[in-house]
């Protein structure tokens, strides 16, 4: 799409490829600045174009090194890449050390790569609440591929499924026996399993356990997850990893799977946003509306139970006067 004069100035600069404008817009989105609404609204029609590749997996498995290797692979093929790398915020100070950038190597002055570090800012699930919207800004900025690296994930950190079109779960040898692969959560969201550090002993074993898992059948949408062995630092197998990613992207395009998955993701996004808004709104009313404050007092005095109170809150009903 070509730049349109109808866009707000900052959005227009992003579409033109202004890196500083892109960076400032990302901050606005992260910080919930009022300017973010307008930019996201204006750019939304220009999104949904770039494949969004999510890399997730436990801490220390080599996600950042794999991102770096994939960037090199993509640049060699002439494709531009936008990267969002998320690290955790401290639950104590709110601060964070964002260290994914140290693995990045690129040619001096290469405008085909844009790397942004993000702090999770209290969100659980492996990404920040605004990561999805930051991905959209990179997409609208014209990058051919967007890579998202999550926080080092635990077994239930699966928020990347709501963002990425292809999910790569990165593992290393000796993370546990095959029963681990049966457990719910992380292993269920993989389109591709990447056994990284496969130069280490035990890689064959890890691959075998995953093969057994994959052999149990394809995912509900009909895709059978691929397994790729890599060594990001050597580097080894990065071309195969990219081939597997492209194969999944082709699979999405060959059927209506992409549209179905995107529909599901957007449905969750809309409901999440509306719920967050509603939740903040209800919280405010419960604290500030005198009638509803009385409702809270009644629960406190054991006159009604929290379930009843929550029903009344939703119905917007103030409690009846105390009959004392």
Partner 1 sequence: MPRASRTRKGPIRVLIAKPGLDGHDRGAKVVARALRDAGMEVIYAGLRQTPEEIVRAAVEEDVDLIGLSILSGAHMALFPKVLKLLHQEVGDRIPVFAGGIIPDEDAQRLRRLGIRAIFGPGASLEEIVKIATQLARGPA
The whole-angstrom separation of Cα 321 and Cα 118 is: 50
Q: Between residues 31 and 277, which has the closer beta carbon with respect to partner 1?
A: 31
Residue 90 neighbours by CB under 8 Å, 6+ apart: 96
The whole-angstrom separation of Cα 203 and Cα 225 is: 18
94: which 2 tokens? 């709110």
CB of 214 to partner 1, least distance (A): 37
Q: Which stretch binds partner 1 (CB under 8 A): 18-26, 60-68, 70-78, 221-229?
A: 18-26
Q: Which stretch binds partner 1 (CB under 8 A): 1-9, 110-118, 152-160, 283-291?
A: 110-118
Q: Between residues 27 and 277, which has the closer beta carbon with respect to partner 1?
A: 27
User: Is-contact 291 316, C-beta < 8 A?
Assistant: no
CA dihedral 48, 150, 101, 14 (to 10 degrees): 20
| Residue 323 touching partner 1 (CB under 8 A) | no
> How far, CA to CA in Å, does 278 sit from each of 57, 70, 118, 189, 221?
32, 40, 26, 29, 32
| Residue 59 touching partner 1 (CB under 8 A) | no
| Residue 214 touching partner 1 (CB under 8 A) | no
- Please name which of 149, 147, 156 lies closest in space to residue 118, comparing C-alpha atoms: 149
Number of amino acids touching partner 1 (CB under 8 A): 30
- Please name which of 198, 177, 191, 156 lies closest in space to residue 66, comparing C-alpha atoms: 198
Q: Between residues 104 and 318, which has the closer beta carbon with respect to partner 1?
A: 104
Phi then psi for 65, rounded to 5 degrees? -65, -35
* Contacting residue, 102, 156, 182, 200, with partner 1 by CB under 8 A: 102
State the binding string over 112-141 for partner 1 (x if CB under 8 A, else -). Answer: --xxxx-x----------------------
| Residue 93 touching partner 1 (CB under 8 A) | yes
Q: Between residues 144 and 199, which has the closer beta carbon with respect to partner 1?
A: 144
Contacts to partner 1 by CB under 8 A: 19-20, 23-24, 26-28, 30-33, 89-90, 92-99, 101-102, 108-109, 114-117, 119
């Amino acid at each position: 799409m070509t730049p349109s004069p109808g866009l707000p100035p900052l959005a227009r600069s992003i579409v033109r490829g202004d890196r500083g404008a892109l960076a400032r817009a990302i901050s606005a989105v992260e910080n919930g600045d009022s300017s973010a609404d307008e930019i996201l609204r204006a750019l939304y029609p220009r999104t949904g174009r770039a494949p969004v590749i999510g890399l997730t997996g436990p801490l220390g498995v080599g996600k950042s090194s794999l991102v770096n290797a994939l960037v090199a692979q993509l640049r060699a093929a002439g494709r531009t890449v936008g990267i969002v790398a998320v690290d955790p915020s401290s639950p104590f100070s709110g601060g964070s050390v964002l260290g994914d950038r140290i693995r990045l190597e690129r040619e001096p002055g290469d405008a085909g790569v844009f790397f942004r570090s993000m702090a999770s800012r209290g969100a659980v699930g492996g990404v920040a609440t605004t990561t999805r919207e930051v991905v959209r800004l990179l997409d609208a900025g014209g990058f051919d591929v967007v890579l998202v690296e999550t926080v080092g994930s635990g077994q239930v950190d699966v928020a990347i499924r709501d963002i990425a079109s292809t999910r790569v779960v990165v593992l290393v040898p000796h993370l546990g026996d095959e029963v681990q692969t049966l457990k719910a959560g992380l292993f269920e969201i993989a389109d591709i399993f990447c056994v990284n550090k496969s130069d280490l002993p035990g890689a064959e074993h890890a691959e075998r356990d995953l093969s057994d898992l994959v052999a149990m059948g394809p995912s509900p949408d009909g895709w059978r997850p691929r397994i790729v062995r890599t060594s990001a630092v050597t580097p080894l197998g990065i071309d195969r990893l990219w081939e597997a990613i492209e194969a999944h992207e082709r699979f999405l395009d060959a059927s209506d799977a992409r549209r179905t998955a995107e529909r599901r993701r957007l449905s969750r996004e809309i409901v999440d946003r509306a719920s967050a808004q509603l939740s903040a709104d209800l919280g405010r009313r419960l604290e500030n509306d005198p009638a509803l404050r009385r409702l809270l007092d009644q629960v406190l005095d054991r006159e009604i139970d929290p379930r009843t109170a929550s029903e009344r809150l939703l119905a917007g009903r103030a409690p009846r006067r105390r009959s004392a």
